[in-house]
Structure 1
């Protein structure tokens, strides 16, 4: 049996099983695919594939289904990921470009991925701890109160009221504008933690004798802004399409419970995306079945890609191993690219 013919038979089995969810026999292969060989040859090829652990019989019948190893060989031997149609690309771009802020981008992305693939979609928020500061705004609200607005490279906007506990003595717009300019000079282009360190270091140059109330107020504002920027933020993930798993319940050998439980643990999903980041930095990463490091997800496949927004984060889909890998990989790759473009505009 030639290696190329063996791959043709394996591809045909994968394609038929994904589309029908029924074990595939030699007769069906010959009817649906132009393999150019006899039924006996196909049966011999299937026996050899089974010996190699690439297909298996789920019960005593002539039909065979792909194993995790079979899916892996199928994915690895894809010559290229079939690109989406122009209409599909246009629809993705239009839908995502209507987003009004980062939260809307994330919500639209998971809804879109779930709809395109029929799987559970997951997206990691850009890490705020890795984000750089794009702009800082200070607005005087009262004698002892300022509004702080921080715009990050991820597109996220943080707003905070700074309660300083004593009059700021920054009661004219020129003084606030001067301080705002200094804060931006020290912060813009730096990560949050780095900007906080720079602001604290600059406090000394603003510390003034007890009689200089305005200098002391400037120092107090810098310390307050530094405190906000130094706060550590937890990374977050958003899901959509969990109900799709119920439609594929027959693809899970025992029960959906472990998978659903894992999906509820966002820390688990963050760890999974992080573990696949290196694989998907330049392309699309695929983990099939037992390749997943999380035991509760050993009956699933995960397809991810990275996107960039002030840092690298991940998005992708999760579903049963009986998955249309070429179209799923194409959708995940395309959406990741559009998300990167939109968040870096």
Structure 2
């Protein structure tokens, strides 16, 4: 921890994006493996064998440069992206801001991506059953048809991705979040299913939706109904928020907020989705996790799996091992033989 705090001190003197590029570079040479696993954390989800439920969220390894090395840190799964069909540079800089006191980040990156072709050649040509790598797909900002972009994503990555996340919740691409509304969502899901059927792929990857914590509860209710009836395999809750009620900022910074201030809102929405889906599909809980206790709270509120990102920035790579060990201890304390038995333990389903 001392070494990471020393490295963090110098990295935090730099622009956040430069710091991130340095981190990506250093992780390329990661040799030490922290792969201690716990029997009570193993689970089968989406038909995939997870050694543990702790993954790294999309945004860290946007262009699939170091996904293999991230498993050395002890993650049970890695999600690369968000990837767009064509390369794009994203929004103007500066576009990433650290809120050190709140242990949060605001970003307005805007899906900066090297594009489908560049990412596809870095991934295995066939799905790797030993390493679960999800691909988070998005749409180009200047696209005339967002749904066509997502169809291309399904076509490009269905053979190599362990699962595909359809990211319709970034606040940094104008109009993208409208796809979460039922009148647009039904069309999106219909088109996704048509692509899958056209490919005639018996081993189709699970397809997940990543949603915004800023959705109205009624819209979430409609979304859950569509997901259950139309064959989407899971939901990730949640993306970043535009809400600033937990902050005391002297200036207006545009973009999505992640980190500790997002935890309460994203966990409430997670609980809501679990209630609405009655535990019938797996959910991935994201937002503000920086300890085993918070990961456990996500799980008890309906998450089968959890993802980290901002917490890793502030607490360092050892946090992954600490969360896994802590989760294992918490399950034993509460009498759960396996993590699957704790999912939704705090949710009252009518």
Kindly name which structure, 1 or 2, has the bigger radius of gyration based on alpha carbons.
Answer: 1
The structure whose RCO (Cα within 8 Å, separation 6+) is larger is 1
User: TM above 0.5, one fold?
Assistant: no
Give 1 or 2: higher helix fraction: 1
TM-score tier after normalising by the smaller chain length: under 0.3
